[in-house]
Amino acid sequence: MKTDPVTFVDRRVGAAKPLRAALDYIFPDHWSFLLGEIALYAFVTLVGTGVFLAFFFEPGDAYPSAINLSFGVPGGLLLRQTHHWAADVFVVAIVLHLLRVFFTGAFRRPRELTYTSGVLLLALAIFEGFLGYSLLDDLLSGMGLAIAYGVAMSIPFLGGDLAHLIWAGEFPGGTEFPQRLFVAHVFLLPALIAGLLGAHLATIVRTHHSQFRGPLRAEDNVVGTRMWPGYALRSLALLAATAAVLVALGGLIQVNPIWQWGPYEPYYATNGAQPDWYLGWLIGALRLMPPLEIVIGDRTVFPNPFFGGILFPSAIFGFLLAWPWWEQRRGSVPHHLLDRPRDNPHRTGVGAAVFTFVAVVFLAGSADRLFLSSGIGYETQVWLFRIAAVVLPGVAYALTRRACRELRDRV
């Protein structure tokens, strides 16, 4: 007598009810929901390639080890570049997914915790990426660590002790520092990201997916594709496609060619070098901050790097984490249908303003590259970017809010 897989498993472990519920789970049909899955599958690719790289990388002899991994280990350069591209795609997919969630109001009750875990995932992904390229001890990563050391030192009251604790002494750090970087990048941060991803997915399943308005769609149902077989096969195809694209990028497009930078030496620096794109906004904030320091008595309590390196990113992530609660401060009811951006002009305007502000700061992070390509003086650029950072967010808010109101009122 033939039995289906669910019956087979149920007769042995009694799991028919939860298994059938999982197989019957409905996923909405909209392309924007795939952004979160792309981020998940980029992380899977990161773990797979990272396991391979860890077998051949020696943190105590980082730069020669990375060069040997690139040119002496069969397939090493391919997997190293695939790993790097996967990190970039992981971050950009989370950013785009977060923008979709924000502008459609998908963070509203009962999904505040799902949204919060997503924002924290973005912070961890950025930090993990920074640790990853800092491991290699090339000129670019050494310059980045020098900036990070200065930012850590700027933390009021605790900065000096904290920086010395992390770096095992004065910059560039003691002999234990490379090993600490390796352990944090390979073990600690991936474990935290995996755990947070699991919590993120669990809260999605618990509250069910939100969906855009449309025929037969209401607050108390989800219209789409069942987990099995339709969505599972589609998702597996997306996993294969994501991995294939990342491997193709790793094989065809050069990224982070450390042999061009050379090993890090504290006395040597170069112009035109840029960190990975997702740190551009932090570099820009450090560059745009005026020469302000707060001194109390004979002690500098808030050194200049604190404002761009600590206060600015804290304010951005603080805004992201606080917005759901601020928008629902007068009370809330469960929402399972998503807004179009035009449906909430104020939220869309605020999001456009904050995005514009971060984009201007982000662009300022490439001021040295812009100087090399355009010839516009560095100081002139800094002042232009400062003016733009003050003026453009307000303009973006007003124009976006007006456009949304006009589009909403047409219907």
pLDDT tens per residue, range 180-196:
999 999 999 999 999 99
User: Are residues 168 and 282 located together in one domain of the fold?
Assistant: yes
Residue whose token pair is 């302000």:
292
User: Are residues 185 and 311 located together in one domain of the fold?
Assistant: yes
Ranges of residues in the chain with a pLDDT under 70 are 1-17, 19, 269-274, 372, 411
Q: Report strand pairing: 294-296 vs 224-226.
A: unpaired
CA–CA–CA angle 379, 383, 389 (5° rounding): 140
User: Are residues 399 and 308 located together in one domain of the fold?
Assistant: no
Decide: 295 and 301 in contact? Cβ < 8 Å.
Answer: yes
CA distances from 178 to 62, 145, 227, 241, 285 (A): 8, 11, 44, 35, 27
For residue 190, say if its preceding peptide bond is cis, omega within 30 degrees of 0.
no
Give me the domain span that covers residue 204.
25-287+298-318
Residue 53 inside a domain? The answer is: yes
Strand partners, 294: 302
Q: How far apart are CA 293 and CA 286, in angstroms?
A: 13
pLDDT for position 17: 67
User: Are residues 243 and 149 located together in one domain of the fold?
Assistant: yes
pLDDT for position 5: 65
Q: Residue 181: which of 58, 81, 55 has the closest Cα?
A: 58
The total number of structural domains that make up the chain: 2
pLDDT for position 325: 94
**Who's near 306: CB < 8 A, 6+ residues apart?**
151, 154, 155, 156
pLDDT for position 2: 56
